[in-house]
């Protein structure tokens, strides 16, 4: 058994995780955000997300830590 194959997600599962499931519901810590399955997703870059592309995703922690991944530019940030 290939441990990498067993430990990774299928592309369709990842796509579902980082797709907006909250529609136009106002959510997140800044306008223009939505939520996927466990991730905040940028619908419209504004404020602190203005340097991210539409579709960027990430999550914030209880003590102000954050991580963001921008699939359009290939960048990731850990704050």
What is the pLDDT at residue 67?
92
pLDDT, position 6: 59
Mean pLDDT by 10 residues, the chain (79 residues): 63 92 88 92 92 94 89 93
Q: What are the strands, taking DSSP E only, across 1-79?
A: 33-35, 40-42, 57-60, 66-70, 75-78
pLDDT at 63: 87
- Say which residue the tokens 């980082």 belong to: 18
């Amino acid at each position: 058994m290939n441990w990498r194959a067993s430990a990774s997600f299928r592309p369709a599962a990842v796509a579902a995780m980082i797709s907006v499931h909250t529609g136009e519901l106002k959510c997140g810590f800044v306008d223009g955000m939505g939520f996927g399955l466990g991730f905040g997703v940028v619908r419209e870059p504004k404020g602190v997300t203005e340097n991210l592309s539409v579709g960027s995703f990430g999550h914030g922690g209880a003590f102000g830590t954050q991580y963001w991944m921008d699939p359009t530019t290939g960048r990731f940030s850990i704050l």
